[in-house]
Amino acid sequence: MKVARLHAVGDLRTAEEPRPVPAAGMSLVRVTAIGICGSDLHWWEEGGIGDSVLDQPLVLGHEAAGVIADGPRQGERVAIDPAIPCGTCESCLRGYRNLCTRIAFAGHGNQDGAMREFLTWPSHLLPPLPDTISDAAGAILEPLGVAIHASDLGHLHLGGSAAVVGCGPIGLLLIQVLHAAGAASITAFEPLAHRRAAAVRAGAGVVLDPAALDPAGLSSAADLRDLVGDGVDVAFEVAGTDAGVQLAMDTARAGGRVVLGGIPGDDWTRFRASSARRKGLTIAMVRRMNEVYPRAIGLAASGRVDLDALVSDRIPLTAADRAFSLAARRDGLKVIVTPGAAAESAGPPGAG
**How does pLDDT run across 181-227, given as a tens digit for each residue?**
999 999 999 999 999 999 999 999 999 998 877 644 445 555 677 77
Question: Start-end ranges of CATH 3.90.180.10 in the chain?
Answer: 2-134+307-345
CA distances from 15 to 37, 117, 158 (A): 22, 11, 51
User: What CATH number should be reported for the domain whose range is 148-285?
Assistant: 3.40.50.720
3-state secondary structure 65-125: EEEECCCCCCCCEEECCCEECCCCCHHHHCCCHHHCCCCEECCECCECCCCECEEEEEHHH
Q: Span 260-277, mean pLDDT?
A: 87
- 32, 70 contact by CB (below 8 A): no
Reduce the DSSP state of residue 57 to 3 states and report it. Answer: coil
Q: What are phi and psi of 250, to 5 degrees?
A: -70, -25
Quick one: pLDDT at residue 223? Answer: 65
Distance CA 232, CA 187 (A): 9
Instruction: With residue 37 as reference, give the H or E element that holds it.
Output: none
Reduce the DSSP state of residue 331 to 3 states and report it. Answer: coil
Quick one: pLDDT at residue 50? Answer: 75
In sequence order, the β-bridge partners of residue 108 are: 111
pTM score above 0.75: yes
Instruction: With residue 131 as reference, give the H or E element that holds it.
Output: none
DSSP 8-state assignment for residue 201: H
The pLDDT tens digits for 99-121 are 998 999 999 988 999 999 999 99
Instruction: With residue 248 as reference, give the H or E element that holds it.
Output: helix 242-251
- 261 CB-contact burial (10 Å; exposed 0-12 / middle 13-18 / buried 19+): buried
The pLDDT tens digits for 51-104 are 788 889 999 999 999 999 998 999 999 999 999 999 999 999 998 999 998 999
Distance CA 334, CA 136 (A): 10
* Residue type at position 167: C
CA distances from 229 to 177, 198, 224, 257, 282 (A): 23, 24, 7, 16, 19
Question: Start-end ranges of CATH 3.40.50.720 in the chain?
Answer: 148-285
Can you name the CATH fold of 2-134+307-345? Quinone Oxidoreductase; Chain A, domain 1 (3.90.180)
The pLDDT tens digits for 124-162 are 999 999 999 999 999 999 999 999 999 999 999 999 999
Quick one: pLDDT at residue 220? Answer: 56
Q: What are phi and psi of 283, to 5 degrees?
A: -115, 130
Mean of per-residue pLDDT scores for the chain:
90
Neighbours of 326 (CB within 10 A): 17
